[in-house]
Structure 1
Amino acid sequence: MSPDALLVVFAVILGLLVGSFSNVLIWRLPRGENVAFPPSHCPHCDHRLGVRDLVPLGSWLALGGKCRYCRAPIKARYPVVEALTGLGYGLIAWLFPPLTFGLGALGLMVLFTILLVGSAIDLDTYTIPDELTLPGVGLGLLFALANAQGSGLPTFPEAVQGALLGAGLLVTINNVGAWVLRRFRERSWPEFPLGYQQISLGLLAGAWLGPWWGAGVALLSALVNALAKKVIRIPELLTLGGFLVSVMLGGSGLGRDLGAMVVGALGAAGAVALVCGVYWWLHWRRHREDDGAADTDEPVDAQAMGFGDVKLAAVIGAFLGWELLLVALVVAVFAGAVLGVIQMALHSSNRLKFGPYLAIGAVVALLWGPALVGWYKGLLGL
């Protein structure tokens, strides 16, 4: 057996083991539980599970899908997650041989786990935990440090750009869409000291000043709020309306280059959105500890302010780069539209958050993204 083939086998085994731990994350993260302690136990009878109860795939099959101690049914999702992780890791090791791609291949396996765990939690709770996405962005940037130029995986600057554009694109759609749905009325309760208001300001400033200066202007606004100990309102008619006018000016040749304006605006908005995400996460965790909210049965992120899809897009951009991020978003929108039509035809009231679609789009981008990007550039003659 060749070294590459042997590594594929090892990757499948590793995937099965990681899949078992992924089930722990899927259960505990939305409940605010520690993922390491207490050790694995049955959620029905609370009996601690032994080694023979934790063999990936094998234990569930041997026990007939029931707890050894109380005979309560064990969800079929457990072996499904383990099997999908094993297959996913094996496929990644085959397409991105670790001997060639080094740590980049391991990074893609980490991305696959984040996507699978995030999708499963989203399906259960309609949330994607910050404990998954925010560290995921950091991991994507760290793995990018090991990616070589021309390897097909983003270098560190490309990963930073991908993360900012991923978060920026989705949060811009969110902000502009919400403004339109409110019929261009202002938000009733702007966040203190930073929030959507600063994101919209970053969008406008970034269009003219670039991503970093644009983000700086927005965060300076948050500092002013903190010093004033109140929200100094910046009308959305000025920020969002100004951004749309700026884009029109760039498109007509009266402003900066249109492409530079869009990249600057989205990059600044994405940077501020991620800062907001970290702030809201830490702020909520502090207040949860003070108020004892961890003792409630309500899912963790249902109490927190955030936008999981925005942060998940940043994770995808950090691991795959901005071009494959765009492929993932296009596939996600298309998949959501198709499933939406099917649900309407079946008169189904079930709904899915955008997270699972983003995950599907990211997997498609990982497998076929470069070919799709090459085909599209060929159509444009680039």
Structure 2
Amino acid sequence: MSPDLLLALFAGVLGLLVGSFSNVLIWRLPRGENVAFPPSHCPRCDHRLAPRDLVPLGSWLSLGGKCRYCRAPIKARYPLVELLTGLGYAVIAALYPLSLYGAAPLGLMVLFTLLLVASAIDLDTYTIPDALTLPGVALGLAFAAWNTRAGAGGELPSLVEAVQGALLGAGLLVTIDLLGSWVLRRGRERRYPEAPIGYQQISLALLVGAWGGPGWGLGAALVSALVNLGARRAVRVPELLTLGGFLGSLLVGSAGSGPGLILMVQGALAAAGGAALLAGVYWWRRREPESEEDAPFDPSAMGFGDVKLAAMIGAFLGWERLLVAVVVAVFAGALLGLGQLALRRENRVKFGPYLALGAVVALIWGGQIVASYRGLLGL
């Protein structure tokens, strides 16, 4: 047996163990519970689980899917998450052998775990915890810095490419959200602007970034946030000016004026992505979890958790594979939506799981897809 194949088998076993911990995260994070204490216990009878109850796959199978102590059913999701994690880790280790990539595949395994946990929580609660995505962005950048220093394979992003991926990932989805929400409101202004930083500052970054680049766009958002702090309220930045101005800027760029359409789009998305991540970090650390449910809101085209999930994917995979993930997610969502429409069923799956699926496709086949696309363009 070759060393790489042996390492892939070890990675699969590691994945089974990590999958068991992933189930803890899936249950406890949405409830705001500590992921380490108390030790694992049955959620029905609260009996502490013994080591023999925690063997990945084996315990669930031997117990017939029921708690040893109260005989309450145990969801099939538990062994499924363990199995998927084991298979995912083994595939990653086989595609990115340690002999060529060093420790870099560990970062992709972390990404796989974050995607699986985020998807399971989103399917249960229609939310994606910031405690997963925002630290996930930092981890993606840290692994990219490690790859750059260690000279890992060229298929994995450098630190610069990871930063671009995070900014463009957040920027692309938050721009879709901004424009889609504006349409849903029929062009009316937001009734509940956030202070000191929120969608209005992101919209401002989008407009300024189109003309001045990411630095100027992010700077404009920060100035607006400081004004809000000084005024102790949300000083409105009209969306007719910011979003309308952004759309007008694209028309100007497409006509060959200004910095050029491609540079304007890149600058706008990167600036909006940076502002969105700053806003995400601010509200993650500031907002009380129990107050979110009762907070007033405007119609939204996309959850802000998806914006941060896209940033995390971009940080781990780079901006090119991020685009692959988004395209796959859109097509997968459309196909499932059409299927459920044909069956006259409501589509209750949010965009997060589709985006996670797209990221897995991009992780496995993204390199070939990007290379084929470049070949078609003669690049």
Q: Classify the TM-score, shorter chain.
A: over 0.9
Aligned counterparts of 2:173 and 2:294: Cα–Cα separation in 1: 22
Tell me how far apart the structure 1 counterparts of residues 29 and 272 of structure 2 sit (CA, whole Å): 28
**Contact kept? 2:102, 2:152, Cα under 8 Å:** no
Question: Partner residue of 1:153?
Answer: 156
Match of 1:173 among 171, 176, 184: 176
Cα distance in structure 2, aligned partners of 1:77 and 1:212? 44
- Given residue 222 of structure 1, which amino acid in structure 2 is its aligned partner? A
Separation in 1, partners of 2:321, 2:138: 18
- Check conservation: 2:170, 2:276, Cα contact below 8 A: yes
How far apart in 2 are the matches of 1:329 and 1:141?
A: 20
The runs of 5 or more residues in structure 2 that have no matched partner are: 298-302
Segments of 5+ residues of structure 1 without an aligned counterpart are 294-299
What residue in structure 1 maps to residue 363 of structure 2?
Answer: 366
2:333 aligned partner, one-letter code: G
CA distance in 2, matches of 1:15, 1:277: 30
Match of 2:338 among 330, 338, 341: 341
Residue by residue over 1:292-340, the C-alpha shift from the partner in whole angstroms, topping out at 9 and shown as x without a partner, is x4xxxxxx97568971100000010000000000000000000000000
Instruction: Provide the rounded CA distance (Å) in 2 between the counterparts of 1:368 and 1:333.
Output: 17
Secondary structure at 1:19 match in 2: helix
How many residues align? The count is 370
- Give the partner amino acid of 1:281: W
Distance of 1:86 and 1:134 partners within structure 2: 25
With the length of structure 2 as denominator, give the TM-score of the two structures.
0.95
Partner residue of 1:214 out of 212, 217, 238: 217
- Residue 187 of structure 2 is matched in structure 1 by 184
Q: CA RMSD in A?
A: 1.4
Q: Which position in structure 1 is the counterpart of 2:242?
A: 239
Please, which of 283, 304, 308 is the counterpart of residue 305 of structure 2? 308
2:14: which partner in 1? 14
Deviation (angstroms), 1:18: 0.2
Greater mean deviation of Cα atoms: 226-235 or 87-96: 226-235
> What TM-score, normalized by structure 1, do the two folds share?
0.94
| Kept after mapping to 2: 8 A contact 1:163/1:321 | yes
CA contact (8 A) 2:100 2:152 kept: no
Give the whole-Å Cα distance in 1 for the aligned partners of 2:213 and 2:347.
41
Contact 1:128 1:301 in 2 (8 A): no
**Residue 136 of structure 1: aligned partner:** 136
The alpha-carbon deviation at position 149 of structure 1 amounts to: 6.6
Measured in 2, the distance between the counterparts of 1:201 and 1:302 equals: 27
1:225 counterpart = 2:222: no
Q: Report if aligned partners of 2:172, 2:273 keep a CA contact under 8 Å in 1.
A: yes
Residue 200 in structure 1 maps to residue 203 in structure 2: yes
Q: Is 2:259 the partner of 1:256?
A: yes
Paired residues of 1:127 and 1:301 also in contact (CA < 8 A): no
Q: Which amino acid aligns with 1:187?
A: R
* 2:300 aligned residue: none
Determine if contact 2:100/2:153 at 8 Å carries over to the other structure: no
Q: 1:200–1:269: 8 Å Cα contact kept in structure 2? A: yes
| TM-fit CA distance, 1:251 | 1.1
User: Do the aligned residues in 2 keep the contact of 1:29 with 1:129 (CA within 8 Å)?
Assistant: yes
Indicate the SS of the match to 2:146: coil
| CA distance, structure 1, for counterparts of residue 166 and residue 336 of structure 2 | 27
Q: Paired residue for 1:329?
A: 326
Deviation at 1:26, TM superposition (A): 0.4
Amino acid aligned to 1:113: T
Q: Which residue of 363, 369, 374 corresponds with 1:377? A: 374
Deviation of 1:380 (Å): 2.1
- 2: CA distance between counterparts of 1:137 and 1:146? 14
Give, in whole Å, the separation in 2 of the partners of 1:52 and 1:153: 39
CA distance in 1 between counterparts of 2:60 and 2:153 reads 43
Greater mean deviation of Cα atoms: 204-213 or 314-323? 204-213
Task: Name the SS of the counterpart of 2:56 in structure 1.
Answer: coil
Find the counterpart in structure 2 of residue 163 from structure 1.
166
1:176 and 1:149 mapped to 2: Cα distance?
A: 39
Cα distance, 1:103 vs. partner? 2.5
Once residues 73 and 215 of structure 2 are traced to their aligned partners in structure 1, the CA distance between those partners, rounded to angstroms, is 52
> Residue in 1 aligned with 2:112?
112
Whether 1:282 aligns to 2:279 is no
- The aligned residue for residue 65 of structure 1 is 65
Distance 1:308 1:191 in 2: 16
Q: CA deviation at 1:3?
A: 1.7
> Counterpart in 2 of 1:296?
none
Q: Distance in 2 between matches of 1:50 and 1:380?
A: 58
Give percent identity, aligned residues only: 71
- Which has the higher mean CA deviation after the structures are superposed, 3-12 or 78-87? 3-12
